[in-house]
Amino acid sequence: MTTLARHTPLIPLPAGPARIIAATGAALTLASTFLPWTWTTAFPGNLTVTGYPGGLQTITLAGAALSLLHVLAAHRLRGLRWLAPTGTTAPTVLLALGTLATTWYTLGAIARQLGGLVNLEPGGLLAAAGSLLALLGALALPTDLPHPDGPAPGPLRRLRHTFTTRRPHPAAPLPAWADLLLIAAAFALGLLLFTYGVDAEYGELFVGYLLLTIAGLAALGRSGLTARLTTLTARHRTLTLTAALLTAACFPLTLTNDTYTNLATSILIFATVALGLNVVVGLAGLLDLGYVAFLGVGAYAAALVSGSPESAAGVHFPFWAAVLTGIGASLVFGVLIGAPTLRLRGDYLAIVTLGFGEIFRITMLNLNGKTGPDITNGSMGIPNIPDLDIGGFNFGDTHDLLGFTIGRFGNYYLLMLLATIAVVLVFRRAADSRIGRAWVAIREDETAATAMGINAFRLKLLAFALGAALAGLAGTVQSHVITTATPDQYQFAGTVPPNSAFLLAAVILGGMGTITGPVVGAALLYLIPNKMDFMQDYQLLLFGVALILLMRFRPEGLVADRRKQLEFHDDAPPEGA
């Protein structure tokens, strides 16, 4: 007869002392943020002040406070049990780990920039010791790992079990007004976090924010709060969509600099193109490595008819006509390229689409009046595209809205938000339709789908054309935002998105076949290189390492649908659990 030895900690300590150690370490780390960490203001953020935190100290303060709350919640303290519905200590470990990473990164950056550890004040040393103590105490908390009689599980198995998701305990239903408040609070918190990341003034602050945010989001998932919020939003779908739209519309009002609004507009453009590629790759399973060319076709088509003085067409269409021109041109190119190539599969299709992307870029270079007709001005592109003017509303002017000033990029952000919503609706309707189910069948097994009577070629061509049209829509707006269209913007790979490699990575990173996934992936892949320009020489290396880690530990993507979870994880709970 076997017995189960439960509550196996990573570090063999009783539960009571482990909680005390973790709580003490978190409290010391929190207190250290009110002390100076360095003696000079040469390090950004002014970490020399006693009495209140500044710069990266605020990140450590938030991590330490959350770690302390979760230590108390792991003790099942009344009033804090809602923080850990699963009853596991994994969120405590994750938050302590994120706080340690942020704190030690800050201290390492201080030592590197100022010339050694001698530049650290006692507050910084206290933060290092407190964050390490909090992590050790969290690792010593019980993990509820059962095992038969015999040798205790090794440290690696116990650590892996620490990060294993458990189902949350059933929650009592709340009144409708409480559901409304929770959904509003969740979106407000998301807006606050995203605004803080976009508004980060220097790279070191963004890195600290990123480290703690990753740990915090993972802790939310392990605690069961994400699952409960998902259930809540599914119950109130219309309310959730309305809250999401209002949150996104309010985003430019929260920024302090129009440059950051420009960054947010570029993220929306990148996300919209990634959603279009998600139709091709995520739904139909067609590996397209030259997709950014369709973005370029839409941008060049709109640039030629939007009244630029350097345009060879010499016409000025209204915006709606320019949009239709960009969409139509991309749609035609999608059909022309797809018709002869979509009879190929797998690697052969990928090679052909990669070739199309390069052919488009080289063609735009050669249409310069010397090596070809004078249409695109070669490497100079089509500059000086005028700002949009829709019904007397000039997008290049500053406007006042409810007491807030909306600049040029804020205007284009709101326009691009409407375009993104249109693309999301098209993707959602297509995915839920009979055609969308046929695309999924082709993606899973084209031979079996054909045997069941599905016209695979026609449906693949439809997916290719729809994806190209959505990219053309985004390209039309992009050409007006950046006021130019040049060939070097539409390459297969590079350090600056959008390009085909980053678009494909955004779809895979976020989660193929989902709506939220490519948006999240595009936001991360566009925001991180812009905020970490001080590591520009290592961006592609870090990008490759991140993709390797993602494929190893979360191959279904950051936001995965049910099918992918069951495909990649044999231990996933059954449907409806």
pLDDT band at 148 (very low <50, low <70, confident <90, very high): very low
Same domain, 183 and 299: no
Residue 209 belongs to some domain of the structure = yes
| 212 and 343 belong to one structural domain | no
Angle at 175 between CA 174 and CA 179, to 5 degrees: 75
249: Cα within 13 Å, side-chain hemisphere: 11
What is the distance between the alpha carbons of residues 341 and 319, in angstroms, rounded to a whole number?
A: 33
Choose from 5-9, 321-325, 365-369 the range with maximum mean pLDDT. Answer: 321-325
Tell me, yes or no, whether 263 and 334 share the same domain. yes
Q: Is the pLDDT of residue 52 over 90?
A: no
Phi, psi of 564 (to 5 degrees): -70, -40
349 with 486, same domain: the answer is yes
Note whether 210 and 296 are same-domain residues. no
Count of C-beta atoms within a 10 Å radius of residue 129:
15
Instruction: Give the residue, 417 or 552, on which the prediction is more confident.
Output: 417
Q: Are strands 399-401 and 393-394 parallel, antiparallel or unpaired?
A: unpaired
State mean pLDDT over 514-530.
82
Q: What is the mean pLDDT of residues 326-346?
A: 86
- Residues 87-139: tens digit of each pLDDT: 677 788 888 999 999 999 999 999 988 888 888 889 999 999 999 999 888 88
Mean pLDDT to the nearest integer, 451-480: 88
Q: Is the pLDDT of residue 172 over 50?
A: yes
Q: Report the pLDDT averaged over residues 221-232.
A: 78
* Domain contains 450: yes
Q: Are residues 290 and 194 in the same domain?
A: no
Specify whether 263 is located in the same domain as 232: no
- Same domain? For 229 and 345 the reply is no
> What pLDDT score was predicted for residue 186?
85
Q: Which residue has the higher pLDDT, 493 or 572?
A: 493
Does the residue 558 lie in any domain?
Answer: no
| Count of CB atoms situated within 10 Å of the CB of 562 | 10
Tell me the average pLDDT across 288-312.
86
User: pLDDT at position 83, please?
Assistant: 63
pTM reported for the whole predicted model: 0.80
Q: What are phi and psi of 284, to 5 degrees?
A: -90, -15
Closest-CA residue to 442 (of 432, 429, 462, 456): 456
Residue 503's domain comprises 256-529
Question: Who has greater pLDDT, 562 or 299?
Answer: 299
pLDDT higher than threshold 70 for residue 157: no
The DSSP bridge partners found for residue 393 are 390
Q: Band of the pLDDT at 78, cuts 50, 70, 90?
A: low
Same domain, 384 and 476: yes
Tell me, yes or no, whether 115 lies in a domain.
yes
pLDDT at 81: 61
Rounded mean pLDDT, 243-272: 82
Residue 169 within a domain? no
Q: Which amino acid is at 276?
A: G
Range from 250-264, 355-369, 394-408 that averages highest in pLDDT: 355-369
| 402 is a domain residue | yes
CATH assignment at residue 415: 1.10.3470
543 falls within a domain? no
Q: Are strands 404-406 and 399-401 parallel, antiparallel or unpaired?
A: antiparallel
Percent of the chain clearing pLDDT 90 (strictly above): 10
Distance CA 16, CA 39 (A): 38
* 550: in domain: no
The total number of structural domains in the chain stands at 2
Does the structure show a pLDDT above 80 at 267?
A: yes
Residue carrying structure tokens 């490497």: 379
Residues in CB range of 281: below 8 A, 6 or more apart: 287, 288, 504, 507, 508, 512
- The mean predicted confidence, pLDDT, of the chain is 80
DSSP 3-state assignment of 328?
helix
Location of structure tokens 């500053």: 398
Tell me the pLDDT band of 574, cut-offs 50, 70 and 90.
very low
Q: Residues near 506 by Cβ (< 8 Å), separated by ≥ 6?
A: 270, 271, 274, 277, 497, 518, 521, 522, 524, 525
Tell me what pLDDT residue 32 has.
Answer: 92
pLDDT tens readout for residues 210-226: 889 888 888 887 777 77
The pLDDT-based confidence of 313 (bands split at 50, 70, 90) is: confident
Indicate whether 266 and 307 sit together in one domain. Answer: yes
Q: What torsion do the CA atoms of 127, 132, 138, 143 make, to the nearest 10 degrees?
A: 160
More reliable by pLDDT, 257 or 365: 365
Q: Are residues 106 and 230 in the same domain?
A: yes
Q: Are residues 316 and 224 in the same domain?
A: no
pLDDT at 99: 93
How far is CA 403 from each of CA 141, 249, 348, rounded to the nearest angstrom?
51, 15, 56
Say whether pLDDT at 3 is over 50: no
pLDDT confidence of residue 174:
62
What is the reported pLDDT for 1? Answer: 36
